[in-house]
Amino acid sequence: MGSLDLFSSNGKPTSPLSDFNPFNPEEFRKQAHKIVDFIANYYTQIESYPVLSQVEPGFIRNQLPQTAPSGPEPLEAIFKDINSLIIPGMTHWQSPNFFAFFPLNISTAAFLGEMLCTSFNGAGFNWQASPAMTELEMVVMDWLANMIGLPKAFLFSSTGGGVIQNTTSDAILLTLNAARDRVLEKIGTENMLKLVVYGSDQTHSTFEKVSKAVGIHPSNIRLIPTNIEGGFSTCPVKLRNVVENDVAKGLVPLYLCGTVGTTSTTTVDPLEALADVATEYGMWFHVDAAYAGSACICPEFRHYLNGIERVDSLSMNPHKWLLSCLGCCCLWVKRSDLLVKSLSVTPEYLKNECSESKSVVEFKDWQLGTSRRFNSIRLWVVLRSYGVENLQNHIRSDVRMAEEFESFVKADPRFEVVVPRLFALVCFRLNPNPQDDSSYTELLNRKLLDWVNSSGKIFMSHTIVGGIYMLRFAVGATLTEECHVIAAWNLIKEGTDELLKPM
Ligand code: PLP
């Protein structure tokens, strides 16, 4: 390796300790070209693979050795296993026929940005550890904040700022942690068990998980019930009643999690009215806009964030719908000092002049871990390579395709749209005889979903909301075009004909 002294004291060459050289730029160039070709081929063939993996449990583990190889294996041998084991064992999230859950967008720019991120492979925990990593993240987070019209309070030029996390769970964990510390400082840690957090039965499940992780007693996690009449959004009146009841019992309201674009149906909570309750009871108000936040870069969707100036924090995931690849959850807070106060620990080995002077942002204090990736470079490359207008068009094109799918559903009397579509997700169900028992209708839809997904041609998912089993058709995979949506609908109709065929 680079620094080995290859010469003995008498000037004669000695052999290096080993020939092993894990990074040689020329070797890297050669191998990386092969990988790039492999990736490009994967994407040109992606439609030929079943979208939902068809393997049985154990398929991969049973065919791979139980121990790592003792010696090197050529890249060709690794590719062979990728083709025969890994690809069949993948559910192809990037297939244009992937309509399940929410999309996880990929793009050429994100790929290139990811390569750059790995190229520098710095830990970026504080400013000195790579000034570019810290400062680029600040710039990119301010750019994105401006794109979705966040007020100045969320920018670094004010008291706030943004940081890239891995997932929404991290964003909720950090803000809940800061909120908890702020309140306990006032009321004393002996009151920890009095703290109560609020969401709705449509809040993402990670809220419950994280609440437990920060020490909220499970009996103090309130999930306000929603219903179809209220469009499955959190009802501010119900919330207020529950909070009042808690306060009357001597409990302490701590944190409210609202959602813009719920996971099941993309419902949007009324931020203004929820903010009234949060403000009145001194709660930290966080908004989870993991999916729908990306749409808010388009002026016609921005109104879904109305009231955002009254919340304490907001998170959204460009890795879902803004072409940025997994591992990009953007969190903004209005009071960055509260995050830092609850997380800052600086051992001697991380001290330096800049950090001591408090003149720089130290992102280690804005996350749980110490080391962090250069994810901002990926987002930066995406934003620069495409520009805001192309990103808006990307969102609009997915919404248009979802509208078209919705029109197919509405035109077929055997189907119904269950929840009004707001973005690019259509929640619908087969309901040929509305007088049928609801469990029979559920069974029909389960069978239809099974039939469609086991065909391998498309992949959709389902949910149950308000006791109604429904199918979710989420348009948004980067490669999806109108022809895929039309083919998907034809397949769903074919399955329906099969299912409803007289015996
Ligand atoms: N919040 C919402 C509204 C979501 O839809 C999702 C995932 O779809 C999540 C949170 C979970 O996101 P993450 O994987 O970033 O934790």
CA–centroid distance, 153 to ligand 1, in Å, is 25
pLDDT band at 15 (very low <50, low <70, confident <90, very high): low
SS3 state of residue 257: strand
Rounded Cα–Cα distance for residues 462 and 264 (Å): 8
pLDDT digits 0-9 by tens, 344-371: 999 999 999 988 888 899 999 999 999 9
What separation, in Å, do the N-terminal and C-terminal C-alpha atoms of the chain show? 73
Residue listed under structure tokens 């280690």: 364
Rounded Cα–Cα distance for residues 118 and 496 (Å): 47
CA–centroid distance, 418 to ligand 1, in Å, is 22
Residue-averaged pLDDT of the chain: 95
Ligand 1 pocket, residue 169 CB under 6 Å: yes
pLDDT digits 0-9 by tens, 101-155: 999 999 999 999 999 999 999 999 999 999 999 999 999 999 999 999 999 999 9
CB 200 within 8 A of CB 223: yes
Say how many C-beta atoms besides its own lie within 10 A of residue 350's C-beta: 15
Rounded Cα–Cα distance for residues 216 and 198 (Å): 11
Of 345, 293, 329, nearest in space to 210 by CA: 329
- Please give the C-alpha separations between residue 33 and each of 26, 113, 122, 280, in angstroms, as whole numbers: 11, 17, 24, 59
DSSP sequence for 336-400:
HHHHHHHH----GGG--HHHHHT-S--GGGGSSSS----HHHHHHHHHHHHHHHHHHHHHHHHHH
Q: Which helix (H) or strand (E) holds 30?
A: helix 25-45
Residues in a beta bridge with 223:
199
Atom of ligand 1 nearest to the CA of 203: 3
- Please give the C-alpha separations between residue 204 and each of 99, 102, 165, 288, 352, in angstroms, as whole numbers: 19, 13, 17, 9, 40
Q: Where are the alpha helices (DSSP H) in 55-204?
A: 75-81, 108-120, 131-147, 168-187
Ligand 1 pocket, residue 204 CB under 6 Å: yes
SS3 state of residue 427: strand
HEC string for 269-314: CCHHHHHHHHHHCCCEEEEECCCHHHHHHCCCCHHHHCCHHHCCEE
Residue 96 tokens read as 């244009």
SS3 state of residue 273: helix
Ligand 1 pocket, residue 259 CB under 6 Å: yes
pLDDT digits 0-9 by tens, 259-307: 999 999 999 999 999 999 999 999 999 999 999 999 999 999 999 999 9
Ligand 1 pocket, residue 102 CB under 6 Å: yes
Output Rg (C-alpha) for the chain, integer angstroms: 26
pLDDT digits 0-9 by tens, 291-350: 999 999 999 999 999 999 999 999 999 999 999 999 999 999 999 999 999 999 999 999
Rounded Cα–Cα distance for residues 427 and 436 (Å): 20
pTM: 0.95
Ligand 1 pocket, residue 255 CB under 6 Å: no
Rounded Cα–Cα distance for residues 163 and 154 (Å): 11
pLDDT band at 2 (very low <50, low <70, confident <90, very high): very low
Ligand 1 pocket, residue 206 CB under 6 Å: yes
Residue 377 tokens read as 């470079």
Sheet holding 415-419, edge to edge: 415-419, 425-430, 468-474, 461-465
Rounded Cα–Cα distance for residues 9 and 432 (Å): 89
CA–centroid distance, 325 to ligand 1, in Å, is 14
Rounded Cα–Cα distance for residues 437 and 36 (Å): 53
The yes-or-no verdict on residue 180 having pLDDT over 80 is yes
CA–centroid distance, 103 to ligand 1, in Å, is 11
Of 275, 262, 309, 284, nearest in space to 423 by CA: 262
Pocket test for ligand 1, best of 98, 205, 206 (most atoms within 8 A of CB): 206
Pocket test for ligand 1, best of 105, 259, 263, 324 (most atoms within 8 A of CB): 263
Of 391, 376, 378, 257, nearest in space to 314 by CA: 257
Rounded Cα–Cα distance for residues 67 and 487 (Å): 44
Rounded Cα–Cα distance for residues 258 and 197 (Å): 11
Residues in a beta bridge with 234:
none
Atom of ligand 1 nearest to the CA of 289: 3
